């Protein structure tokens, strides 16, 4: 497939997803139009939601920094934070690989070797997805009435996390093809895998708490507990992330979140759509704003890539 045909396919897929979600909203428009919107947001709950998301970012940045250190490299927390936020902008470009590529290039500009720069971003991406699946399954299995499926999902996720050191060479080959540059990864210490798994798990739980607070901020009061909120948010986020063509998971995440909120008894109809749309706007602002500000502040200050032997 030529680059032009691939871009056309991406936009067609994104349009199809957005049309599908639009039709879903239209089906519920009667309930949405008569739903009593709150007079104002609950600002304390909204502030608590922002604090939880900020804490989850700090945990993820620290986790990625520790993964870089596992390769014997050095990377200050401030530099890691800047790289994390700026590279996060890449997830809003169809394909998702731009985020990994940006992390690798920016880490090299900070003196990190190419192997550690790209390898650490691959590790975090892989572990983040696997732990997200496990967290969603554990938190929502009871309400969804699928305990056997839950155990299978947890077992598979755990096996993949443990087997990450052996899966990384496969990802390295894929990265070599996508980025068109040789990526060779040394064997990663198992301790680094467990640090990444623990950090990503804590971050997902913080995301779930943040979503619960946002729910309360928008509707005036929470309609579900933290576990069900975590299951709904994490499950929808992973679904949007794995749909590579949708920038930021737009469309896919909204539809899955709406369905899970209903299945988990969090909200239905117009109330659910209000929370879904609020979640998209709120999370996008929190994800994009720091990256754009840091990108503007450091414009023109980038360091030349260093060649390490």
Q: What is the DSSP string of 124-185?
A: HHHHHHHHHHHHHHHHHHHHHT-HHHHHHHHHHHHHHHHTHHHHHHHHHHHHHHHHTS----
| Model confidence pLDDT, tens digit, residues 5-24 | 655 655 565 566 556 556 65
Yes or no: say if 160 and 167 are a contact pair by the CB < 8 Å rule.
yes
Distance CA 103, CA 112 (A): 11
Tell whether 29 is covered by a domain: no
Rounded to 5 degrees, φ, ψ at 55 are -65, -40
| Model confidence pLDDT, tens digit, residues 210-237 | 999 998 898 877 666 888 999 999 999 9
> Using 50, 70 and 90 to split pLDDT, how confident is the model at 203?
very high
Q: Would you call 275 exposed, middle or buried from its count of C-beta atoms within 10 A (0-12, 13-18, 19+)? A: buried
Tell whether 34 is covered by a domain: no
DSSP state of 111: T
Distance CA 123, CA 71 (A): 12
> Residue 179 contacts by C-beta under 8 Å, 6 or more apart in sequence?
97, 101, 104, 118
Q: Which of 97, 103, 95 is nearest to 119 (CA)?
A: 103
Domain limits at 222? 39-297
Tell whether 219 is covered by a domain: yes
Q: How many domains does the chain have?
A: 1
Yes or no: say if 204 and 131 are a contact pair by the CB < 8 Å rule.
yes
Tell whether 98 is covered by a domain: yes
Tell whether 14 is covered by a domain: no
Tell whether 241 is covered by a domain: yes
Q: Would you call 146 exposed, middle or buried from its count of C-beta atoms within 10 A (0-12, 13-18, 19+)? A: middle
Planar angle of CA 138, 143, 144, nearest 5 degrees = 85
Q: Measured between alpha carbons, how far is residue 268 from residues 22, 23, 272, 279, 296 in Å?
A: 17, 16, 5, 15, 41
- pTM score, two decimals? 0.76
> Using 50, 70 and 90 to split pLDDT, how confident is the model at 182?
low
What local confidence, expressed as pLDDT, does residue 154 receive? Answer: 58
> Using 50, 70 and 90 to split pLDDT, how confident is the model at 205?
very high
Q: Measured between alpha carbons, how far is residue 260 from residues 22, 25, 62, 149 in Å?
A: 18, 15, 30, 16
Lowest mean pLDDT among 78-92, 111-125, 126-140, 209-223: 111-125
Distance CA 188, CA 162 (A): 12
Tell whether 48 is covered by a domain: yes
Taking every pair of Cα atoms in the chain, the longest distance, rounded to a whole number of angstroms, is: 66
Tell whether 145 is covered by a domain: yes
């Amino acid at each position: 497939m030529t680059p032009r045909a691939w871009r056309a396919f991406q936009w067609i897929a994104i349009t199809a997803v957005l049309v599908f979600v639009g039709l879903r909203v239209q089906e519920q428009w009667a309930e949405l139009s008569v739903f009593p919107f709150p007079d104002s947001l609950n600002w304390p709950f909204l502030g608590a939601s922002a604090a939880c998301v900020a804490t989850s970012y700090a945990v993820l940045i620290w986790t990625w920094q520790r993964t870089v250190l596992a390769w014997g490299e050095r990377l200050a927390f401030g530099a890691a934070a800047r790289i994390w936020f700026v590279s996060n902008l890449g997830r809003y470009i169809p394909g998702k690989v731009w985020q990994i590529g940006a992390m690798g290039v920016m880490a090299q500009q900070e003196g990190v070797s190419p192997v550690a720069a790209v390898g650490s971003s691959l590790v975090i991406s892989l572990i983040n997805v696997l732990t997200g699946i496990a967290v969603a399954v554990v938190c929502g299995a009871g309400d969804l009435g699928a305990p056997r499926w839950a155990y299978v999902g947890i077992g598979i996720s755990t096996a993949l996390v443990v087997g990450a050191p052996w899966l990384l060479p496969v990802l390295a080959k894929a990265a070599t093809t996508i980025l068109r540059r040789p990526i060779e990864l040394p064997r990663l210490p198992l301790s680094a895998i467990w640090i990444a798994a623990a950090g990503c798990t804590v971050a997902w739980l913080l995301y779930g708490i943040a979503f619960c607070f946002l729910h309360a901020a928008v509707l005036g009061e929470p309609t579900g507990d933290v576990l069900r909120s975590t299951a709904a948010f994490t499950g929808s986020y992973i679904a949007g992330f794995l749909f590579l063509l949708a920038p930021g998971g737009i469309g896919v995440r909204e539809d899955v979140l709406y369905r899970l909120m209903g299945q988990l008894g969090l909200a239905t109809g117009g109330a659910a759509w209000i929370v879904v749309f609020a979640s998209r706007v709120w999370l996008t602002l929190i994800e994009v704003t720091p990256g754009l500000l840091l990108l503007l502040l450091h414009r023109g200050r980038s360091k030349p890539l260093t060649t390490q032997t």
